[in-house]
Amino acid sequence: MNFLIDAHLPRRMVGLSLWIDMGSKQIMVDSRDIAAESKKARSDAIEALYATFARYKLNGPVDGCPHCTSSEDDRLLNSDPLQKLPPANLERFAFKAVSTLGTLEDFKHFLPRILELAALGGNIGHTLFEIILGKLDYAGWTHWPQREGQAIRDYLSALWQHQLCHYPAPVDADDCLCGIGNCESDLRPYLQIWQRENGAASLNHLTDFIGHNARHLLKEKRLGNAFWEEREPQARQVIEWLLNAAMTKKLESAFFNCKDATLAEKLSTAADQLAWVHNRMA
C-alpha cells in the first residue's frame, strides 16, 4: 500500500480525533479507523522488509575496523534471532554499519530489524533516529534493486502516515521528518500529506514543529535540527512549505474549526510565529 501515491485514507475521517489509553499514558489518534489502518500499514511495511531482505544471510563474523570494533560486536549481533535482537545489541551496528562495521550485505541483513526498532521506539540506544535513516543514504539505497528500494520507500511512507495519526508518537515530527530528509531526496510528497491532514494529532505535531523551528528561522534562517545541515535542499523544501500562503490558511482554518481549547491556543501561537518568521525572511 503506497500512501504517497494513493492518499488512501478516507476523507470523511479527517479532522476527527480521540484519546485512547496506552498503559500508563494516553495518546491522541485521528479516529480509531485511521489509527488502526496506519498501524496495520506500518506493520505490513515492516513485514515486507523482512521478506525482501531475507536473502541476505550472514556468512561468517561481522568484521569491522580493528581500531574501533571488536569480536564483542559480532557476539552481540549473533546473540539472538534477527527479529528478537534487542536494541542494545544493535546500537553500535546501527551507528557504525557499512562505514566501520560490516559489509553492505551485513547491513541489509540487519536492516529490517533496525528499521522496525526505529519505527517502534525512535532512537536505538544512543544512536539517533536521524543517523539510523541517514545510513540508508550512506549505503546508497536508491541504487539498490528495485524491489528493495520500493520496500524502503513503502516503509518510509507508512512510517510518516502513522506519525501524523498519533500524538505523541515514538519520534516527534521534527526528528521524523528530518530523519526521512536524511535519506530521501524529495520531501514534497511527505509535506503534501501533512498539508492535507487536518486531524488533531497531525495539527499538534505541526504546531510543535513550528514552535521548535521558529526561533532558529528568526535568528539564523535555518531549521533547528542539526541533522539538516548536510541536507540543505531538503531543508529548503521544508522552509518553503512552512512559509507558503497555504500554510497560513491551513492554520487559520484549523483554528476557527477547532473545538479543543488547548489545541486552538497552540494553533494561534503557531500562526503568530510563522507570521514573524515570514516578515523576517521576506
Q: If DSSP codes are grouped into helix, strand and coil, which group holds residue 235?
A: helix
**Mean pLDDT calculated for residue range 113-121:** 97
156 vs 281, residue with greater confidence: 156
Phi/psi class of residue 102: alpha, beta or left (left: φ > 0; alpha: ψ in -120 to 50)? left
| Domain extent listing, the chain | 3-281
How far is the first Cα of the chain from the last one, in angstroms, to the nearest whole number?
40
**Residue 242: predicted pLDDT:** 97
> Around Cβ 209, how many Cβ atoms within 10 Å?
21
**Residue 249: predicted pLDDT:** 96
166-167: strand order across its sheet: 18-22, 25-29, 166-167
Average pLDDT, the chain: 88
In this structure, of 55-64, 133-142, 255-264, the range with the lowest mean pLDDT score is 55-64
The per-residue pLDDT for range 174-233, each reduced to its tens digit, is 999 999 999 999 999 999 999 999 999 999 999 999 999 999 999 999 999 999 999 999
**Residue 211: predicted pLDDT:** 97
The per-residue pLDDT for range 151-164, each reduced to its tens digit, is 999 999 999 999 99
Percentage helix, strand, coil, to 5, in the chain? 65, 5, 30
